[in-house]
Amino acid sequence: MNSWMPFNAVCDGTSLVDMIEKEKSRFKKPTLSEEQLEDIQDKIIAAYNNEEVINIKYYNSGYLYQVKNIIKKIDEIDKKIVLKNGKVIFFSQIINVDS
């Protein structure tokens, strides 16, 4: 028998360690200036009108995500974008846009 066993072998700590590491990688949503928000809006409208593929970086629950697709619909009432793949992104989540 081994007198020394790694932490993960002593108890099923892998899920706990993974959860702690995941929580440590979370961060607060970056704040955008009015100029940045206008620039994002202009790029979204241009990509929608030209049916271009757009790369959207968005924030959700402490993490940044990225999706590249074509905008199917802009819902100004609910303040969200619907992409052709069915993904819905709210305006308030968007951090950056590249076309």
Is the pTM higher than 0.85? The answer reads no
pLDDT in tens, 59-84: 999 999 999 999 999 999 999 999 99
Burial of residue 49, with CB atoms counted within 10 A of its CB: 0-12 exposed, 13-18 middle, 19 or more buried: exposed
Break the chain into its structural domains and give their ranges: 33-98
13-67 pLDDT tens trace: 667 777 777 777 788 999 999 999 999 999 999 999 999 999 999 999 999 999 9
Residues in the chain, overall count: 99
CATH 2.60.120.10 fits 33-98, yes or no: no
* Beta strand spans in the chain (E): 53-60, 63-75, 80-83, 88-90, 94-98
